[in-house]
Amino acid sequence: MIVVMKLNATEEEILAVEKRLKDGGLSGHLIRGVNRIVIGAVGDERQVIASLGLEALSAVEKVVPIMKPFKLVSREAKEMPTIIEVKDAKFGGEHLAIIAGPCAVESINQVMTAAEKIKAAGGQVLRGGAYKPRTSPYAFQGMEEKGLEILQQAGHEYGLATVTEVIDQPSLDLACRYVDMVQIGTRNMQNFRLLQAVGKVRKPVILKRGLSATIEEWLMAAEYIMSEGNEQVILCERGIRTFETYTRNTLDLSAIPLIKDLSHLPIIVDPSHATGSAKLVSSMAKAAVAAGVDGLLIEVHPEPCKALCDGPQSLDPEQFATLTTDLRRLAQAVDRKIS
Amino acid sequence: MIVVMKLNATEEEILAVEKRLKDGGLSGHLIRGVNRIVIGAVGDERQVIASLGLEALSAVEKVVPIMKPFKLVSREAKEMPTIIEVKDAKFGGEHLAIIAGPCAVESINQVMTAAEKIKAAGGQVLRGGAYKPRTSPYAFQGMEEKGLEILQQAGHEYGLATVTEVIDQPSLDLACRYVDMVQIGTRNMQNFRLLQAVGKVRKPVILKRGLSATIEEWLMAAEYIMSEGNEQVILCERGIRTFETYTRNTLDLSAIPLIKDLSHLPIIVDPSHATGSAKLVSSMAKAAVAAGVDGLLIEVHPEPCKALCDGPQSLDPEQFATLTTDLRRLAQAVDRKIS
Amino acid sequence: MIVVMKLNATEEEILAVEKRLKDGGLSGHLIRGVNRIVIGAVGDERQVIASLGLEALSAVEKVVPIMKPFKLVSREAKEMPTIIEVKDAKFGGEHLAIIAGPCAVESINQVMTAAEKIKAAGGQVLRGGAYKPRTSPYAFQGMEEKGLEILQQAGHEYGLATVTEVIDQPSLDLACRYVDMVQIGTRNMQNFRLLQAVGKVRKPVILKRGLSATIEEWLMAAEYIMSEGNEQVILCERGIRTFETYTRNTLDLSAIPLIKDLSHLPIIVDPSHATGSAKLVSSMAKAAVAAGVDGLLIEVHPEPCKALCDGPQSLDPEQFATLTTDLRRLAQAVDRKIS
Amino acid sequence: MIVVMKLNATEEEILAVEKRLKDGGLSGHLIRGVNRIVIGAVGDERQVIASLGLEALSAVEKVVPIMKPFKLVSREAKEMPTIIEVKDAKFGGEHLAIIAGPCAVESINQVMTAAEKIKAAGGQVLRGGAYKPRTSPYAFQGMEEKGLEILQQAGHEYGLATVTEVIDQPSLDLACRYVDMVQIGTRNMQNFRLLQAVGKVRKPVILKRGLSATIEEWLMAAEYIMSEGNEQVILCERGIRTFETYTRNTLDLSAIPLIKDLSHLPIIVDPSHATGSAKLVSSMAKAAVAAGVDGLLIEVHPEPCKALCDGPQSLDPEQFATLTTDLRRLAQAVDRKIS
């Protein structure tokens, strides 16, 4: 890290900083500029930067970290991209996979119909929410275990892998018995207890980016999971909160090449939640594939206008089939394979 | 709610909307404009608006809610301001209270010293984190139960009420045994399981605004707590995430008069986390009092530069004493009392 | 528009609103709900909504506009997409065009070399800044008229159309003598005098989205230009300001399908300024084409590391040639033609 | 500045950076860390940082500026606060002044009435827009020169200084003949030609913060004005654009202590435009005074509900009189004087 001293820092104050760096296992290199003194600290700053307390010293103007705070998730830790396989789905490398299904599991009929159409259109993973984190306490909160059973049954019937969102330890325990992958939702991206819990299971985890999470905070959340031993983390960009109100959120597709530069983990995109509008979903799904995404998470509902949750952003089965045809053509044009 | 139909909506499509409104217990009133048909729906829309699926109908351009989605927390539900009392502290009405203490409980000495100084300067509540949600899995995560014991002991010794952050059911269960109030942190504002859990205890709850939570989402989070039976909710504004990088977050003080207009619940402000910088804390604390705040949450550490967490934003005891003197003078000028 | 009255509005206050609507040429339709009275106003609200003063009435809770405020730029005003042609470049319909060149014109050699490479790689338009709006008064401000001459000469030599940014009436007057298209930069998107000025010339105008402009404000800026008589407006998405700091701005690609839904005007994307980083430019350019963009604006510098302005985001000629090859393949996969 | 090299940077690449630094008049100091090489550059980086092109070198990971980019506006350049006096108004030091008036000049009667009430309530400066930058080309654009005449007449009649917004060179030329101060609006904060133009006149300039301008960009805009010779710049915080929609913008009051720490220039606050709602204006005006503001800019209209522009945020004369009484009491409690 670099410690920038204030204009009027005394020799004593400089020594105090150097002593702290030394106590933290770092060595300080002094650069005397025309107007300012700057101290470069050499050593692994990541473990100690938060606890050295340098910024609370009155003679310190600012502390600039040099190393990125994440380790296990970083490209520097693992050169080759991580490829995660779940049944027929492959996320990463030359492969990309399509996850589709309704926002919420509502009935056996609804999920069976969805699964049939998704399989027919070439999807690999079936999604469906059994535990729904809703903004209002008065909204439908999900079918819970009954929903998980339905999901498992439909996955089995149509040869699809399955994924569902978990919201606490009990829902995680249950989900692990019924589905192939679990998902951490955007509102729980910094629910560190939940991150630690999914870090202890042996299922792939989809980690959605928080509504206002920076790239760095998102990777640190993945680091929480990996530091508990679970190496199968798939990052999912789903739109960030901005001032724009025409779309529900602003899909940040530049996260795709950026994450690939910083990390070895696969990244997928959820254009349905990001835009909140079915008419924008297909364009954004195509854009994501062209940008190099490793998978897509798309809401498909047999009858979007009867959905209990997020109908306006769901594709109907026909729109979804058209989209997958387009995506296959596009994947080929960028030398990728849909699983 | 108001349903705006697309330009080319057919009579059949209009009938379909009216039927759905009727199924949802609402009655539809048609307004035929020059260019557009608009349907006004009469009735309590809050329970049904999410499940009617109107926006997924291709003939519907948009749906505009008219009623605010919150009930129990609203000013319309309760005209008079809620006043929450915890030992000597009173939040609301003509009273405001000062909560102070270190970000994290680090040792018995640290907390005892802090408590002594806070009491002497006229604070009413002692804060200290025993469970710290940290961005990095490698940072200090808190002393857990041992920390709660220290907090209780210091509160007892110096006659201060106590408050601490809870992060899951086990930490909530423990906290309820040791402290007088519990706090939901910014990253857990939409951890709905945790909201439901604190809704079931009989301790006042400080609910921090999420980093990118709208006023409406924040009030809906409070609604989760109240709908479980706990009516002692104190809202805490602590800065929102914006593009500005000179401050850690942007303190939204307009939330104070806005919340008072929309809700009967008391609102406090945390200028320490909002700004991330000790030199801005006092100005923002004063501004909050002038704007009508019901309390303040201020980080005070006996030696900020030795803090294990958030030192740069902590006041030292002397700065805190100067601030409380200024605040008393200011409170008088706006006809408020510091507890 | 819809006027939502406060809970306790009196009959007299309702009559006052109805009178104002009538004075504004609108007719009011009353809907008496369970808790609230809502008045629907029928007629062309766009001319009068701002001057009726309804929101300043104490009995009015809020006013919800129903019609979009833009007219000439809207899809409703013109069903078919506008195609803008400049020499070999076609923006819109099945065509897309590539604009490339250095951020700033620095010398005749630099621009000639850039133009040669851009032509060879299949670009249609040469860009280069002669007037540079810079954050610092101490940074290079552009070669002004000399730069325009260089641009004209290079365009002529290599058969490329040319475009440059204008910042006031004098620079616009000069630019019109030397180049084929003019550009309004992001910081001037709401410089209404400048919008009116380019509305009076007969050159195509590229209108960059403001750093924090909503889709609606952007279209209203285009409306300013069209309302002065210039119908050749090309919208350019170039990233919006968000909390993320890893990229310079956040490229909002969902603007592509959204603008196409709302307007008949062509939309292009500038991935160079949006990301601020050469290594992200190609991915984002490809994503834009897959999403249906009508053109790209890409910074190309013969030697990026010697650029006087924005070197880190410029492609070198080789990277640019590789990109255009990729883009042609991709355009084909989405049934588009690069001019 | 600090140059962080990539992990695999070669000796040759390091030499290349050092050579560039030398060419820019800086000397480089090498720090060899465990994982990375960092080069500290000593000298005045502000003139050269943008043109060195270091970030475009493939071996450079990032460049971290150490010095702040502004000079003339900085506290380091001038220790004592700048106090700006216009007739009875004093901005800065122990003084604060109140500017009030309607958003737009609409008629001689309206402005005369407003001026009378403002004077009576203890305001010092009369504001009124004669050139209105409006989002829609179809909205009222101001009375232009006729409006300036009215403003001058009212100021003269009631002994108030006057201020109005300018939007280009012609409006600036006219304004300088009629009013005492000029104002740059939020949409023109980075209209650098206009900044240079007001830098050449000898009237105080109120510089509003851009909707999404960082503190640093704002100070750089002030630097543009000062670098042309005009030292009478008053910064005006008026809310920034965020995701929150309950208020028009988010008033960033932490800008007050921050600007005072970074700069010697006075800072005022406009709570009317920031909140967009009369019921929030008084609280935010009081908060600003408690935070140490040097002045306020408040919209006052004799009949807000008849205003041609921004009625919902205007106070009526009675509300304004109550507010100034409250502000005087508050100013005393923080040892400030209202002019």
Q: Are strands C37-42 and C2-5 parallel, antiparallel or unpaired?
A: antiparallel
Sort out which chain A residues have CB atoms less than 8 A from D76's CB and list them: 7
Q: For residue A311, is pLDDT > 90?
A: no
Predicted local distance difference test score (pLDDT) of residue D6: 86
Residue A77 in any domain: the answer is no
Q: Note the pLDDT tens digit of each residue in B62-116.
A: 888 888 889 999 998 999 999 999 999 999 999 999 999 999 999 999 999 999 9
Query: How confident is the prediction for chain A on average, in pLDDT?
Result: 94
Confirm whether B77 is domain-assigned.
no
CA distance D322 to D283: 12
Instruction: Residue A110: name the closest of A274, A271, A305 by CA.
Output: A305
Residue A191 has what pLDDT?
Answer: 96
Q: Is C8 exposed, middle or buried (0-12, 13-18, 19+ CB in 10 A)?
A: exposed
**Preferred mutation among C250, C251, C254, C325 to probe A, highest tally of A CBs within 10 A:** C254
**Per the structure, how many domains does chain B have?**
2
pLDDT over 70 for what percent of chain B? 100
The set of chains that have 3 or more CB pairs under 8 A with C is A, B, D
Helix (H, G, I), strand (E, B) or coil at B15: helix
Tell me which of C16, C31, C64 is where a domain ends: C64
Distance CA C54, CA A119 (A): 54
Contact present, D80 and D88 (Cβ < 8 Å): no
Quickly state the pLDDT bin for D175 (edges 50, 70, 90): very high
Question: Which tops the pLDDT comparison, C107 or B61?
Answer: C107
Q: Are residues D111 and D100 in contact, defined by beta-carbon separation less than 8 angstroms?
A: no
Q: Which of D13, D60, D192, D319 to mutate to test the interface with C (most CBs of C within 10 A)?
A: D192
Give the tens place of pLDDT for each residue, D59-96.
888 888 888 889 999 998 999 999 999 999 999 999 99
Query: Is residue B12, in this structure, part of any structural domain at all?
Result: yes
The answer to whether the CB of D181 falls within 8 A of the CB of D171 is no
CA–CA separation, C278 and C271 (whole Å): 9
Asked if D98 and D247 sit in the same domain, the reply is yes
B139 phi, psi to nearest 5 deg = -90, 160
CA distance B243 to chain C (A): 4
**Residue B157: inside a domain, yes or no?**
yes
Domain final residue pick, D64, D96, D112: D64
Residue A63's nearest CA partner among B131, B305, C144, D264 is: B305
Indicate whether A173 and A292 sit together in one domain: yes
CA distance C107 to chain A (A): 32
Put residue A229 in one of left, alpha, beta given phi > 0 → left and psi -120 to 50 → alpha.
left
Residues B330 and B184 in one domain: yes
- pLDDT tens digits for A149-193? 999 999 999 999 999 999 999 999 999 999 999 999 999 999 999
Asked if A209 contacts A255 with a C-beta cutoff of 8 angstroms, the reply is yes
8 Å CB contact of A258 and C250: no
User: B93 and B43, same structural domain?
Assistant: no
Q: Is residue D280 part of a domain?
A: yes
CB pairs under 8 A between B and C: 59
B128 and B34 in one domain? no
- Tell me the pLDDT of chain D averaged across its residues: 94
**What pLDDT digit, counting tens, does each position of C5-29 carry?**
887 889 889 998 998 899 888 888 8
- What is the C-alpha to C-alpha distance for residues D176 and D197, in angstroms, rounded to an integer? 12
Residues A16 and A91 in one domain: no
Reference C263, options C283, C302, C233; nearest CA is C233
pLDDT given at position D305: 82
C-alpha span between C132 and C165 (Å, rounded)? 8
- Is the CB of D291 less than 8 angstroms away from the CB of B284? yes
End-to-end CA distance of chain B: 43
pLDDT at A337 over 90: yes
Identify which of A118, A147, A114, A122 has the alpha carbon closest to the alpha carbon of residue A132.
A147
Rounded average pLDDT over A266-295: 97
Q: How far is CA D286 from CA B56, D13, D89, in A?
A: 46, 56, 19
Per-residue model confidence (pLDDT) at position A30 = 87
- Residues B92 and B45 reside in one and the same domain: no
Q: pLDDT digit string (tens) for C122-177?
A: 999 999 999 998 888 988 889 999 999 999 999 999 999 999 999 999 999 999 99
Helix (H) or strand (E) holding C120: helix C108-121
> Which CATH number goes with the domain that contains D230?
3.20.20.70
- Looking at per-residue pLDDT, the higher value among A231 and D40 belongs to A231
Measured CA to CA, the distance from residue D175 to residue D145 in angstroms comes to: 8
Q: What is the pLDDT of residues C230-243, one digit of tens each?
A: 999 999 999 999 99
CB contacts of D245 in chain B (<8 Å) are 214
Same domain, C25 and C93: no
Q: Is the pLDDT of residue A35 over 80?
A: no
Instruction: Tell me which of C1, C2, C31 to substitute to probe the interface with B (most B C-beta atoms closer than 10 Å).
Output: C31
Q: Which two tokens stand for residue B311?
A: 């030192």
Query: What DSSP string runs through D117-150?
Result: HHHHHT--EEE-BSS---SSTTS----THHHHHH
Q: Which of C188, C241, C305 sits opposite D53 (nearest CB)?
A: C305
Distance CA B211, CA B215 (A): 11
User: Would you say residue A310 has pLDDT above 80?
Assistant: no
In this predicted structure, which of B37-46, B219-228, C237-246 has the lowest mean pLDDT? B37-46
Q: For residue C16, count other CB atoms closer than 10 A to its CB.
A: 17
Show Cβ contacts of residue B98 under 8 Å, excluding neighbours closer than 6 positions.
B122, B123, B124, B125, B295, B296, B298, B324, B327, B338, B339
Nearest CA in chain D to C306: D53
**C147, two tokens:** 């730069």
Q: What is the average pLDDT value for chain C, to the nearest integer?
A: 94
Per-residue pLDDT, averaged over A288-315, amounts to: 91
Answer yes or no: is A72 within a domain: no
Q: In this structure, are residues D311 and D276 in contact, taking their beta carbons and an 8 Å threshold?
A: no
Given a cut of 90, whether residue A215 has pLDDT beyond it is yes
Domain that holds residue C235: 84-338
Q: Map residue C268 onto helix, strand or coil.
A: strand
Q: State the pLDDT at residue C298.
A: 98
**Claim to verify: residue C146 and residue C56 sit in the same structural domain:** no
One domain for residues C210 and C137: yes
Give the residues across from C183 on adjacent strands: C165, C206
Give me the pLDDT at residue D28, please: 86
Least confident of B175-184, C326-335, D307-316: D307-316
Residue A73 lies in a domain: no
Q: Is the dihedral of CA B194, B195, B201, B206 positive or negative?
A: positive
- Chain B interface test: which of A52, A73, A191, A275 (most B C-beta within 10 Å): A191
Contact assignment for A140 to B193 by CB distance below 8 Å: no
pLDDT band at C332 (very low <50, low <70, confident <90, very high): very high
Q: Over the Cα atoms of chain C, what is R_g?
A: 23
pLDDT in tens, B72-85: 999 989 999 999 99
d(CA A125, CA A142): 20
How long, in residues, is chain D? 339
CA–CA separation, D58 and C310 (whole Å): 14
Residue B51, pLDDT > 80, answer no
User: In this predicted model, what pLDDT tens digit does every residue of B12-21 receive, in sequence order?
Assistant: 899 989 988 9
Q: Given pLDDT bands bounded at 50, 70 and 90, which one contains residue C297?
A: very high
Whether D283 sits inside 8 A of B254 (CB atoms) is yes
* Kind and range of the H or E run holding B125: strand B125-127
**pLDDT confidence of residue A29:** 87
CB contact under 8 A, A251 and C247: no
Give the pLDDT of residue A49.
Answer: 76
8 Å CB contact between B267 and B256:
yes
Cβ distance of A287 and C283 shorter than 8 Å: no
Residue B42 sits in a domain whose CATH number is 3.30.70.1140
Q: Residue B308: is its pLDDT beyond 90?
A: no
Domain check: are B277 and B142 in the same one?
yes
Residues on chain B touching D254 (C-beta within 8 angstroms): 247, 250-251, 274-275, 280, 283-284
Is A14 within the bounds of a domain?
A: yes
Q: Which residues of D touch B293 (CB under 8 A)?
A: none
Model pLDDT for residues A236-260, shown as the tens digit of each residue: 999 999 999 999 999 999 999 999 9
Same domain, C187 and C55: no
Read off the DSSP letter of residue B55.
G
Using a CB-CB cut-off of 8 Å, the residues of chain A touching C279 are 257, 261
